[in-house]
Amino acid sequence: MHFPNRRLRRYRVSEGIRNLVSEVYISPKKLMYPIFVWDGATEEIKNLPEQFRWNISDKNLYKFLEKLIQHGLESILVFGVATEKDKEGSLGWRDDGVVQRFVKYVKKEFPELVVATDVCLCTWREDGHCGVAKDGKILNDETLDYLAKISLSHASSGADIVSPSDMMDGRVKSIRSALDKAGFENTLIMSYSVKYASYLYGPFRDAARSAPAFGDRKTYQIAPSQLREAILEAQLDSEEGTDILMVKPALFYLDVIKELRQKFQLPISAFNVSGEYSMIKIAISQGVFDEKVIMELFTSIFRAGTDILISYFVPDFLRVKIQ
Please give the residue ranges that form the binding site for Zn ion (CB under 5 A). Answer: 120, 122, 130
Binds ligand PBG (CB under 6 A): choice among 39, 118, 237, 259: 118
Of the pair 64, 201, the CB lying nearest ligand PBG is at 201
Binds ligand PBG (CB under 6 A): choice among 52, 64, 102, 204: 204
Burial 187-202 (b: 16+ CB within 10 A, else e): bbbbbbbbbbbbebbb
Of the pair 238, 274, the CB lying nearest ligand PBG is at 274
Question: CA 131, 137, 142: angle at the middle one, nearest 5?
Answer: 45
Q: β-strands 114-119, 161-164: how paired?
A: parallel
Q: How far apart are CA 43 and CA 209, in angstroms?
A: 13
Q: Of 85, 173, 248, 281, which residue is the catalytic one?
A: 248
Q: How far apart are CA 89 and CA 291, in angstroms?
A: 40
Catalytic annotation present for 281: no
Of the pair 201, 302, the CB lying nearest ligand PBG is at 201
Binds ligand PBG (CB under 6 A): choice among 65, 217, 259, 317: 217
Return the closest-CA partner of residue 133 out of 125, 98, 226: 125
Of the pair 130, 246, the CB lying nearest Zn ion is at 130
Enumerate residues 264-323 that contact ligand PBG by CB under 6 A: 273-274
Q: How far apart are CA 36 and CA 126, in angstroms?
A: 19
Binds 217: which of Zn ion, ligand PBG, none (CB < 5-8 Å by kind) = ligand PBG
Binds ligand PBG (CB under 6 A): choice among 31, 65, 78, 122: 122
Binds 103: which of ligand PBG, Zn ion, none (CB < 5-8 Å by kind) = none
223: exposed, middle or buried (Cβ count in 10 Å: 0-12, 13-18, 19+): exposed
Return the closest-CA partner of residue 162 out of 220, 202, 133, 119: 119
Q: Of 63, 195, 263, 281, which residue is the catalytic one?
A: 195
Catalytic annotation present for 321: no
Binds 174: which of Zn ion, ligand PBG, none (CB < 5-8 Å by kind) = none
Of the pair 64, 312, the CB lying nearest ligand PBG is at 312
The residues annotated as belonging to the active site are: 195, 248
Which residues contact ligand PBG (rule: CB under 6 A)?
Answer: 118, 120, 122, 130, 165-166, 201, 204-205, 210, 217, 273-274
